[in-house]
């Protein structure tokens, strides 16, 4: 099968398309024929090997595993102990080495794809969507009627944060650049700030929560638009250890900001996201689709920090 191999840490030239053996499922695993793989910012950071501390987990000199994690496809074969899925099932979930024509992974990492959602949309609704869910439901614990602002509302995580905050009953405002304002209002933000033209921290509006995907402003600036008792939930921003440590310190000494968190997909949350997609309460948004052999260009686009929603990779045509 064809798969993307990462030989080293660095720029997109460390990624290459190669022929490798198609894996065989172990007793608890399923073999999936991949129809779509979506990228998230973690894939980019693993390619770069930054921040350096990441290499402690991923491999010091080069990554121990092939890149790509969020996939959707069709079950080809199941291991002897798998009873929940069968060949022909259309599924989505997370794995190691997802930038490949086939992936083999524990069956519990996959759930059935809602019929009304495409493979590309399903593949897009894994790591970024779960991160947004954890911010909205577990970190902010958003309640109906609360006012929420998503700073960085148009990238991988932002559109899920906007839509999920609405599902939990909030009135949502979003911040993005000019070319994305229409997208952000189309997914339910009732107020959209174009950060190239206006400063939301001077708007006079007040919010219960700022879901901070972009990490572009200081806590003192955010405080200007927080209601008394309001809080910033840090989701993203420049991946510098000094910044992350600063956020942890501020969380200890300020009631205006919670500590940064790291999200990983899990079966229960994917099921929940699948139900919302089935009910059409949640609509994944896709920006660009690249063939597998063009993966380096897909990574380069993601790395601009200005992809509009999700970037997807599909198997190359023969």
Binding residues for ligand NAP (CB under 6 A) = 40-41, 128, 131, 151-158, 175-177, 180, 195, 213-214, 216, 235-237, 239, 261-263, 305-307
How many whole angstroms separate alpha carbon 134 and alpha carbon 261?
9
Question: Cβ closer to ligand NAP: 18 or 177?
Answer: 177
Question: Cβ closer to ligand NAP: 25 or 159?
Answer: 159
Question: Cβ closer to ligand NAP: 86 or 141?
Answer: 141
In the complex, least distance from residue 153 CB atom to ligand NAP, rounded to whole angstroms: 6
In the complex, least distance from residue 41 CB atom to ligand NAP, rounded to whole angstroms: 4
Comparing CA positions, the residue from 133, 143, 192, 140 lying closest to residue 163 is 133
Give the DSSP letter string of 218-287: -HHHHHTTEEEEEEEEE--S---HHHHHHHHHHHHH-TTBPPP------HHHHHHHHHHHHTTS----EE
In the complex, least distance from residue 221 CB atom to ligand NAP, rounded to whole angstroms: 11
Place of tokens 């590309």: 120
Question: Cβ closer to ligand NAP: 26 or 96?
Answer: 96
Helix or strand run (H / E) with residue 128 = helix 127-133
In the complex, least distance from residue 45 CB atom to ligand NAP, rounded to whole angstroms: 7
C-alpha distances out from residue 204 to 70, 101, 215, 221, Å: 39, 51, 20, 12
Question: Cβ closer to ligand NAP: 102 or 200?
Answer: 200
In the complex, least distance from residue 270 CB atom to ligand NAP, rounded to whole angstroms: 15
In the complex, least distance from residue 197 CB atom to ligand NAP, rounded to whole angstroms: 12
Question: Cβ closer to ligand NAP: 6 or 180?
Answer: 180
In the complex, least distance from residue 311 CB atom to ligand NAP, rounded to whole angstroms: 8
Question: Cβ closer to ligand NAP: 3 or 95?
Answer: 95
- For residue 162, count CB atoms less than 10 angstroms from its CB and return exposed for 0-12, middle for 13-18, buried for 19 or more: buried
State the angle between helix axes of 41-48 and 295-302 in degrees (0 to 180), rounded to the nearest 10: 100
How many whole angstroms separate alpha carbon 117 and alpha carbon 281?
12
How many whole angstroms separate alpha carbon 56 and alpha carbon 58?
6
């Amino acid at each position: 099968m064809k798969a993307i191999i990462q030989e080293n840490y660095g720029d997109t030239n460390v990624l290459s398309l190669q022929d490798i053996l198609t894996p065989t499922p172990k007793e608890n695993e399923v073999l999936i024929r991949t129809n779509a793989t979506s990228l998230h910012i973690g894939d980019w950071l693993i390619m770069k090997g930054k921040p350096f501390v990441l290499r402690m987990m991923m491999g010091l000199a080069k990554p121990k595993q092939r890149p790509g994690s969020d996939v959707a496809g069709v079950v080809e074969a199941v291991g002897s102990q798998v009873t929940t899925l069968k060949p022909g099932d259309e599924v989505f979930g997370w794995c190691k080495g997802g930038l490949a024509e086939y992936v083999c992974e524990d069956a519990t990492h996959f759930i059935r794809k809602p019929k009304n959602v495409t493979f590309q949309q399903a593949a897009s609704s894994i790591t970024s969507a779960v991160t947004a869910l954890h911010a909205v439901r577990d970190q902010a614990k958003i309640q109906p009627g609360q006012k929420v602002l998503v700073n960085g509302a148009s990238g991988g995580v932002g559109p899920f944060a906007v839509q999920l905050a609405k599902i939990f009953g909030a009135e949502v405002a979003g911040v993005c650049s000019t070319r994305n304002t229409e997208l952000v209002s189309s997914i339910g933000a009732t107020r959209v700030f174009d950060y190239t033209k206006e400063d939301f921290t001077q708007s006079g509006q007040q919010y219960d929560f700022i879901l901070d995907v972009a990490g572009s402003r200081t806590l003192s600036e955010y405080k200007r638009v927080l209601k008394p008792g309001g809080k910033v939930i840090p989701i993203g921003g420049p991946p510098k250890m000094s910044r992350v440590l600063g956020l942890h310190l501020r969380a200890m000494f300020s009631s205006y900001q919670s500590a940064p968190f790291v999200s990983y997909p899990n079966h229960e949350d994917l099921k929940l996201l699948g139900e919302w997609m089935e009910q059409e309460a949640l609509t994944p948004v896709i920006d660009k689709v690249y063939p597998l052999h063009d993966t380096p260009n897909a990574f380069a686009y993601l790395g601009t920090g200005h992809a509009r929603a999700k970037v997807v990779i599909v198997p190359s045509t023969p």
